[in-house]
Amino acid sequence: MTEARLRLRPREYQVEALKWALTRDGAVLGLPTGSGKTLIAVMWVRELLSKRKVRKVLILEPTRVLVEQVSKYFRDVANLEVIPIYGVIPKKHRVTLWRKAVIAVATPETALNDVSEVTDSGYDAIVIDECHHTTGKDAYAEFIRATRNLFKKRLGLSAYIPPSRATEIKKYIGEIRIWSWDDPRIKPYVPRWIGEVYEAELNNVEERLLRELEKKRNNLTGRERGLVQLAIRWFVRDGALALAESLRKPTKLANLLQDVNLFLMAGVRPAHKLDSLVRVLNDHEGFRKAIIFIERVAVARYVTSKLRTYNSVLVCGKSNIEVNIKEVLKKVKSDAVKVIVSTSAGEEGLDLPEADLLIIWSSVASPLRFIQRHGRILRATSVQGPPKFVAYIITPNTIDTDSFVDSIEQARKAGVDVPVSEEVIEELWKRTTRAKILSVLEEQPMPLEWLKEVLELPEDILRASLKKMMEHGDVIYIYTHLGKTYVAIESLDILQKEFREYLEVDPSLNVKVKVYLDGNTQKTVRGTYEVTSRRLKNILKRWARIKAILASTEVPLPGGAFKLVNLHYGFSITREEVLDVVLRNIYSVRKHHT
């Protein structure tokens, strides 16, 4: 066995599961979320490769977020060379990656698209994470059926194996063994409630619609631009039905987007998140009662109509004249009603029943509303029993992802512990619209005006995004002849090469530097670069974070006059190399302010 070389010590039940899986060509392990299934997969892969029982391993993950997260985990925990393979990578490059990788991690959609490359590249072992998807018409299932005889070793992992899918999973992967959440060895590691993220991709036509809306927004200003930005939000958060409903009304927005109505008819789904919602319900087969929060009434009605097999009930609030709210509230408490679809009315004190499955269709940034929604789960977490689930459905690579990440951050600031792992949040953050800005700044430091031109984004959206990225510690800026010049934190080497003269220290210059720390704490340092650098680096070591820096000095002007210059660096500094870049920029002030 190879666990001694791991950077994590496996638990007793993890070793037990590994040994059981290794004795079979096909094995499915059912362990609760939080119990460490991925570590078992790491050990299984290492064992098979080190003993030369297999040559190459394919790992399937349901989303791109998990592809990155699991790839990083394999590298960090076992120092294994893992290659993530995405559908966005050009086909000719993917062919090379499939051949090169000993361990490849991909989504089932990518693997299915490249099934001939997978077959020809010699993969003979597979790990199928979230293997409860391997039934029906899912890409998981199609790939597993297409490669049924390819893999001589198979490992399936899942937190829950729906009884209706067990036979098919056993047929295509292998024997199933379940470890219960109330196993005394496992129970301490299982959270009372579990957060899961499901991605709802736009199809090609919907992507075109989004680009069209963004183009219109970018050509407008002021209130008109704000209205189109709101339309974009409705579309990616709730669905085209929400947008279409708004465009039917005689409003300013309808006039701005009068040519979009026809576009909406050309292959755009009414609610693009519906397929992911159905997957959530199927994945949690056996749930007692689910509550789905959807912001727009039109979309909520549509979704309710599509879930009749669950005896679904729609709750729109006291102002809804179409139904008697008292009768509805009485009905939703019936055991026969499995799904409650609720608009914001369900957050505001209505006596909805407790649920063991909460589904957030429409992300909201308000901490209060976030907490109110999660109260349907949180208020019952002290009761002994299986963990409860919250599923978040998001549209990747859009402002819907921005809103979700923001809502998680705001909730945590408000003291709500949202059990979505930091790794997942980090990977999701990379898929926000801010990621477009970051990718540009990783290649070339540039001022705001250049970013506007390159990204075709409005200035207010750029400023707001840059602010969040600086708070997050991903972007900083220095002062150059271009003004504030932004750079990705991981590309400081490019900054130092291309803007070297704005980082060349004047050793004779005296500067007053004020640093802002946690709370209202401030510290002021005066002197040359050598003195200030030494003292501020000690402050950073002690406090771990500098919130902002304000520097003041006098710059000589022709004729003997002096100009007072104030430089403000309004971003978080946690790394010494970032502090050094800022200080060198301060002490080269004559280069960019004379």
| End-to-end CA, the chain | 67
pLDDT for res 4? 38
Cite the beta strand spans of 56-118 per DSSP E.
57-60, 83-85, 103-106
Kind of pairing between the strands at 26-30 and 103-106: unpaired
pLDDT for res 365? 63
State the DSSP H helix or E strand holding residue 573, giving kind and residue range, or none if neither: none
Q: Where are the domains of the chain?
A: 3-190, 191-432, 435-592
pTM: 0.66
Distance CA 157, CA 46 (A): 16
Fold of 191-432: Rossmann fold (3.40.50)
pLDDT for res 127? 98
Distance CA 351, CA 333 (A): 9
Cite the beta strand spans of 50-114 per DSSP E.
57-60, 83-85, 103-106
Calculate the alpha carbon distances from 225 to 220, 222, 242, 457 in Å. Answer: 5, 6, 18, 11
Q: Counting beta carbons within 10 angstroms of the beta carbon of residue 482, is it exposed (0 to 12), middle (13 to 18) or buried (19 or more)?
A: middle
Q: 3-190 and 191-432 share one CATH topology?
A: yes
Give the residue from 280, 306, 300, 291 showing the smallest Cα distance to 238: 300
pLDDT for res 322? 45
Residue with tokens 């096909």: 26
What is the full per-residue pLDDT of the chain (594 aa) written as tens digits? 344 368 889 999 999 999 999 999 999 999 987 789 999 999 999 999 999 999 999 999 987 778 888 998 999 999 999 999 987 788 889 999 999 999 999 999 999 999 999 999 999 999 999 898 777 667 888 999 999 899 999 999 998 888 888 999 999 999 999 998 888 998 888 777 788 889 899 999 999 999 989 888 888 888 888 899 899 999 999 999 999 888 888 888 888 888 776 666 678 999 999 999 999 999 888 888 899 999 998 999 999 999 999 999 888 754 444 445 567 767 877 888 999 998 875 554 455 667 889 899 998 766 566 666 666 555 544 445 677 888 999 998 888 988 888 888 777 776 666 767 777 777 777 777 777 888 899 889 999 999 988 887 888 888 988 998 898 788 999 999 999 999 999 899 999 999 999 999 999 899 999 999 987 889 999 999 999 999 999 999 999 999 999 999 988 777 778 889 999 999 989 999 999 999 999 999 987 766
Neighbouring C-beta atoms of residue 336, cutoff 10 Å: 8
pLDDT for res 315? 83
Tell me which CATH code domain 3-190 carries.
3.40.50.300
pLDDT for res 349? 47
Distance CA 239, CA 233 (A): 9
